[in-house]
Amino acid sequence: MNSLRLLASDTVGAPVLVIFLAPLLVAGVGLIALIVQRGRRAGAGNAAAPRSRWGLILALVPTAFGALLLFFLLSVRGGAPRFFYVAAALPLLVGLRLLIFWNRRAP
């Protein structure tokens, strides 16, 4: 209950919360997509699974989001808290991992 009062009384609290939670949500969705893609690729057997355009789009969204957010945080006047950089780097790393997985061919 105290957190709701804090967000209601502080005009900066809500945007900061959104800026912090948005990259974590994008990274979580990217990890779920990675698990789903691994399941599909493993179910294909030894045959090389075709790479789809959706896999590339699904990998580019968190990569671009994380890169743009990092650029935004690096260019903010006065700097940003250190934990924001970690939160912004997570979607970038998940997106890069998805791109690596998308580019890899099945054995």
Q: Check residues 19 and 26 and name the one with the higher pLDDT.
A: 26
What three-state secondary structure class fits 44? coil
Taking only the tens place, the pLDDT of each residue in 30-81 is 888 888 877 766 655 545 556 677 778 888 899 999 999 889 888 888 878 8
Does residue 105 register a pLDDT over 70? no
Q: 60: which 2 tokens?
A: 């580019």
Alpha helices in 1-107 (DSSP H): 2-9, 13-42, 53-75, 82-103
pLDDT of 64 reads: 92
Per-residue pLDDT tens over the stretch 3-18: 555 555 656 667 777 7
Identity at 57, one-letter amino acid code: I
8 Å CB contact between 62 and 26: yes
Residue with tokens 């599909």: 40
The angle at the Cα of 64, spanning 58 to 67, to the nearest 5 degrees, equals 140
Query: In terms of Cα–Cα distance, which of 37, 35, 39, 30 is closest to 63?
Result: 30
